[in-house]
């Protein structure tokens, strides 16, 4: 960021909470994207505690794109795969 965004102005203070949520989910989308393009399907994406409130949105978006998704390990691991469910995918909640 070269300059502060104009959304950071005091006149926009009432929108800061929503702006922060938008920022958090955008960062989560970026992290999931990087995971998909850099990892094997047997590697799960680690869902950090602060991101658990957004993971169902991400899972729905991935399903719309044609991915299979399974939330595992008490909600802290997200498997993203095309066809065959990874063998290490246990303790799961499918959507």
Q: pLDDT tens across 4-43, in order?
A: 888 888 998 999 999 999 999 999 999 999 999 999 999 9
Q: For helices 55-64 and 16-38, what crossing angle results, to 10°?
A: 50
Please list the residues that pair with 81 across neighbouring strands.
68
Instruction: Say which residues have a Cβ less than 8 Å from residue 35's Cβ, sequence separation at least 6.
Output: 43, 45, 80
Q: What is the DSSP letter of 86?
A: P
**Residue appearing with tokens 């998909």:** 36
Q: What is the value of pTM for the model shown?
A: 0.84
Residue spans per domain, the chain: 14-94
44-91 confidence digits (pLDDT tens): 999 999 999 999 999 999 999 999 999 998 899 999 999 988 988 876
Separation in Å, CA 57 to CA 3, 7, 9, 38, 75: 30, 24, 29, 22, 14
Sheet of 77-81, strand order: 45-46, 77-81, 68-72, 93-94
């Amino acid at each position: 960021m070269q300059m502060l965004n104009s959304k950071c102005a005091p006149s926009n203070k009432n929108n800061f909470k929503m702006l922060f949520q938008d920022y958090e989910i955008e960062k989560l989308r970026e992290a999931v994207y990087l995971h998909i393009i850099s990892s094997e399907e047997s590697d799960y994406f680690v869902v950090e505690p602060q991101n658990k409130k957004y993971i169902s949105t991400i899972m729905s978006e991935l399903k719309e794109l044609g991915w299979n998704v399974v939330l595992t390990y008490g909600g802290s691991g997200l498997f993203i795969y095309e066809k065959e469910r990874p063998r290490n995918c246990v303790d799961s909640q499918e959507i």
